[in-house]
C-alpha cells in the first residue's frame, strides 16, 4: 500500500504536466498509466522514425516533460490499470497479477479520450479499424492496415491518418469526409479567427499530400456498407443528404483490403462517473463532461480533472490544464499561497480559453450531412461485444423501457467487454432519434467497478475485499 499527496491517473500530456508542476510546488505525487511508455495517445502515434511533417508542435514539450519527471523523482507506476476509486480516497491498480492500493489526499483524473466509430453493416469485419489504431500499427510495429485502404469519417483525424498511411506506402483508394465541402469552407471562414493559422495550415498540408498523390476526396459522403468473405474486401460509399438524413445517393463500391474509420473523440471520464461527479452536456461536441472550475476542480473537493477528460481539445490544451490542476492541488494542500500564483494561473486560464475556442471552432466547422446512425439498418450490429442489432435496441426503447438502465438490462447493450466505450454514444443517438429527447447527464448509465476487465483473482484478493 502507498500513500501520496497527489495521485494522477493518466500519463499523457495532461498527467505529465500535472506531475511536473505539482513536484515543482513540492507535492509528493504518483503518476499512473496503463502503458509502459509515458506520453499518452499523441506519443503512441509517433516514433523517432516519424517524418517531420507529421510531428505535432507539442511533441517537444511532451518529450521535455518526460525527462523532467525523472529529475523530480516523481514516482511513476506504468503498465498498470486503475480499476477502482472510492470516496475514502483510495485507488486500486492491477497489472493483471498484483494489486496496489494507493491512499491519496487529492486525485487528478487525466485519462484522455477514445475514438468514436460509426455503425454500418460490416463495421465489425476484420480489416475495419479506427484511424488511431492504424496510426499505432504503423508507428509501433511498422505494419500497415492493408495495401488498398479507404479512410472515412469526420474531422481532422481522418485527414492525418490518410496522409500518414499514404507516406507509408499504402494506396489510399479515397478519403471520405461526411461534411459537405461547401459547409466545411463556409464554417471554416466563419470560425477562422479562432481556428488559427497553425491548425488551418496543418489541415491544408495533409490535403495537399493527398491531392498530389491523386487520392479522390469525397465530401458529404459516408461508408454505407463493408463486406467480404473473411475480412473487408469491398466498401460501398454514398452521398449524404443534408435535409433527409436517411437518403443516400451516388453509391459506389470500392475494392479494398482495409478500411479506417473515425468519428472524432469521446472523453474518457468514466472515473468521474464512477465517483458520481456532477456532469453537464456539451451541445457542440455532443459529449458529457464533469462540471469543473477554471482551475479544473470538480464538485468533489478532492477530485480534479485535466486534458481530454475535461473536454476534447488537443494536446496543447491538455498541457495547460495539467498545470492548472497541479496549481489548484498545491493551493488546496497549502504548498503555495493563492496570491503568489494568481498571475500564472490567470495566464494559463487565458491560454486555455483560447485553445478551447480553437477546438470548438474545428468542431463547428465539421458539420456532417446525415447523422451518426444514417448508415445503420435495423439489422446492423450496434453493440459489437454482445452482438446486438439496432432493431433490438430500438424495440426496447419503443417498449416500456423507461431508462438507459432498463434498455441495458433488456438487451445487454453496453454490458460487454468494452463496457459501452464503443456503443454508448450510438445508444444515446438512437434514444434521441426515437424519443426526440437527449439523455440528461443524470440519466447516464451508472459506472461501477471494475472500470476495466480484470482477472477474477484480482477481485478475490483478500486485502482488497477487506477494504
Ligand X SMILES: Cc1cc2nc3c(=O)[nH]c(=O)nc-3n(C[C@H](O)[C@H](O)[C@H](O)COP(=O)(O)OP(=O)(O)OC[C@H]3O[C@@H](n4cnc5c(N)ncnc54)[C@H](O)[C@@H]3O)c2cc1C
Give the residues lining the site for ligand X (CB under 6 A).
9-15, 32-35, 40-42, 45, 56, 81-82, 110-115, 132, 160, 265, 268, 307-308, 314-315, 318, 451-452
Concatenate the DSSP letters of all residues of 98-126 into one string: -EEEEEEEEEEE---EEE-----BTTTST
Give the C-alpha separation, 315 to 144, whole Å.
25
Which residue lies nearer to ligand X by CB, 132 or 238? 132
By C-beta, is 10 or 370 nearer to ligand X? Answer: 10
Taking the least distance from each CB to ligand X, the nearer of 239 and 273 is: 273
For the chain, the 3-state helix, strand and coil shares in percent, each to the nearest 5, are: 40, 25, 35
Name, in order, each residue with C-beta under 8 angstroms of 298's C-beta and a sequence gap of 6 or more: 272, 277, 278, 290, 291, 292, 304, 305
Is 391 exposed, middle or buried, given 0-12, 13-18 or 19+ CB atoms closer than 10 A? middle
Angle at 270 between CA 269 and CA 271, to 5 degrees: 90
For ligand X, the closer CB: 83 or 120? 83
Burial pattern 134-171, b for ≥16 Cβ within 10 A else e, equals bbbbbbeeeebbbeebbbbbbbbbbbbbbbbbbebebe
- Least distance in angstroms from the C-beta of 362 to ligand X: 11
- Rounded to a whole number of angstroms, the minimum distance from the CB of residue 460 to ligand X is 20
Between 39 and 368, name the residue whose CB sits nearer to ligand X: 39
Q: Report the number of secondary-structure helices (H) and strands (E) in the chain.
A: 15, 21
Instruction: Name the residue nearer to ligand X (CB basis): 224 or 275.
Output: 275
User: What is the smallest separation between the CB atom of 425 and ligand X, expressed in angstroms?
Assistant: 14
The smaller minimum CB distance to ligand X, of residues 112 and 180, is found at 112
Cβ closest to ligand X, residue 83 vs residue 254: 83
Q: Report how far residue 255's alpha carbon sits from residue 263's, in angstroms, rounded to the nearest whole number.
A: 22
What's the chain's Rg over C-alpha atoms? 22
CA 444 to chain centre: 18
Minimal distance in Å, beta carbon 313 to ligand X?
7
**String of DSSP letters for 247-296:** -EEEEEEEE-SEEEEE--EEE--HHHHHTT--EEEETTTTEEEE---TT-
CB of 22 to ligand X, least distance (A): 15
Question: In which residue are the cell numbers 467497478 written?
Answer: 449
Tell the smallest beta-carbon distance from residue 229 to ligand X (Å). 29
Contact assessment for residue 119 and residue 375, using Cβ atoms and an 8 Å cutoff: yes
Q: Buried b / exposed e across 234-243, counting CB within 10 Å, b at 16+?
A: bbbbbbbeee
Q: How far is the CB of 111 from ligand X (least distance, A)?
A: 4
* Shortest Å, Cβ 329 to ligand X: 16
Are the C-beta atoms of 35 and 135 separated by less than 8 Å?
A: no
Measured between its terminal Cα atoms, the distance across the chain in Å is 12
Nearer CB in complex with ligand X: 147/198: 198
By C-beta, is 33 or 430 nearer to ligand X?
33
Measured from the CB of residue 334, what is the shortest distance to ligand X in angstroms?
A: 27
Q: Which is nearer to ligand X, 149 or 431 (CB)?
A: 149
Measure the CA–CA gap between 224 and 244, rounded to whole angstroms. Answer: 15
Q: How far is the CB of 84 from ligand X (least distance, A)?
A: 10
Least distance (Å) between residue 119 CB and ligand X: 19
Instruction: Tell the residue number behind the cell numbers 487529492, with chain if given.
Output: 106
Amino acid at each position: 500500500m502507498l500513500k501520496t499527496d497527489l495521485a494522477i491517473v493518466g500519463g499523457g500530456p495532461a498527467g505529465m504536466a500535472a506531475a511536473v508542476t505539482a513536484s515543482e510546488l513540492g507535492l509528493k505525487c504518483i503518476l499512473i498509466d496503463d502503458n509502459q511508455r509515458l506520453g499518452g495517445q499523441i506519443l503512441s502515434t509517433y516514433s523517432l522514425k516519424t517524418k517531420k511533417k507529421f510531428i505535432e508542435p507539442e511533441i517537444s514539450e511532451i518529450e521535455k516533460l518526460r525527462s523532467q519527471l525523472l529529475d523530480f523523482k516523481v514516482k511513476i507506476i506504468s503498465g498498470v490499470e486503475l480499476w477502482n476509486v472510492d470516496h475514502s480516497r483510495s485507488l486500486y491498480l492491477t497489472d493483471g497479477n498484483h494489486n496496489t492500493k494507493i491512499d491519496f489526499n487529492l486525485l487528478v483524473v487525466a485519462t484522455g479520450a477514445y475514438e468514436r466509430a460509426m455503425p454500418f453493416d460490416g463495421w465489425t469485419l476484420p480489416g475495419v479499424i479506427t484511424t488511431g489504431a492504424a496510426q499505432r500499427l504503423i508507428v509501433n510495429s511498422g505494419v500497415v492496415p492493408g495495401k488498398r485502404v479507404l479512410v472515412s469519417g469526420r474531422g481532422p483525424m481522418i485527414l492525418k491518418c490518410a496522409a500518414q498511411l499514404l507516406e507509408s506506402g499504402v494506396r489510399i483508394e479515397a478519403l471520405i469526409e461526411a461534411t459537405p465541402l461547401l459547409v466545411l469552407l463556409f464554417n471554416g471562414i466563419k470560425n477562422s479567427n479562432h481556428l488559427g493559422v497553425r491548425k488551418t495550415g496543418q489541415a491544408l498540408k495533409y490535403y495537399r499530400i493527398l491531392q498530389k498523390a491523386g487520392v479522390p476526396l469525397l465530401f458529404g459522403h459516408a461508408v454505407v456498407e463493408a463486406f467480404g468473405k473473411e475480412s473487408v474486401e469491398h466498401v460501398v460509399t454514398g452521398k449524404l443528404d443534408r435535409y433527409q438524413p436517411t437518403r443516400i445517393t451516388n453509391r459506389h463500391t470500392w475494392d479494398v483490403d482495409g478500411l479506417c474509420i473515425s468519428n472524432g473523440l469521446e472523453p474518457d471520464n468514466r472515473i468521474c462517473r464512477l465517483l458520481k461527479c456532477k456532469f453537464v452536456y456539451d451541445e457542440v461536441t455532443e459529449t458529457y463532461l464533469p462540471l469543473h472550475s477554471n482551475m479544473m476542480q470538480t464538485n468533489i473537493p478532492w477530485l480534479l480533472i485535466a486534458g481530454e477528460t475535461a473536454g476534447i481539445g488537443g494536446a496543447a490544451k491538455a498541457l495547460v490544464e495539467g498545470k492548472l490542476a497541479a496549481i489548484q492541488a498545491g493551493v488546496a494542500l497549502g504548498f503555495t499561497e493563492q496570491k503568489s500564483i494568481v498571475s500564472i494561473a490567470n495566464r494559463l486560464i487565458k491560454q486555455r480559453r483560447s485553445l478551447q475556442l480553437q477546438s470548438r471552432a474545428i468542431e463547428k466547422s465539421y458539420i456532417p450531412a446525415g447523422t451518426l446512425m444514417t448508415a445503420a439498418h435495423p439489422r446492423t450490429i450496434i453493440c459489437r461485444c454482445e452482438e446486438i442489432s439496432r432493431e433490438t435496441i430500438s424495440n426496447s426503447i419503443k417498449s416500456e423501457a423507461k431508462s438507459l438502465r432498463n434498455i441495458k438490462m433488456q438487451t445487454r447493450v453496453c454490458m460487454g467487454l468494452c463496457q459501452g466505450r464503443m456503443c454508448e454514444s450510438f445508444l444515446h443517438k438512437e434514444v434521441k432519434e426515437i424519443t426526440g429527447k437527449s439523455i440528461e447527464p443524470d440519466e447516464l448509465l451508472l459506472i461501477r467497478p471494475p472500470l476495466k476487465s480484470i482477472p477474477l483473482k484480482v477481485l478475490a484478493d483478500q486485502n482488497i475485499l477487506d477494504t
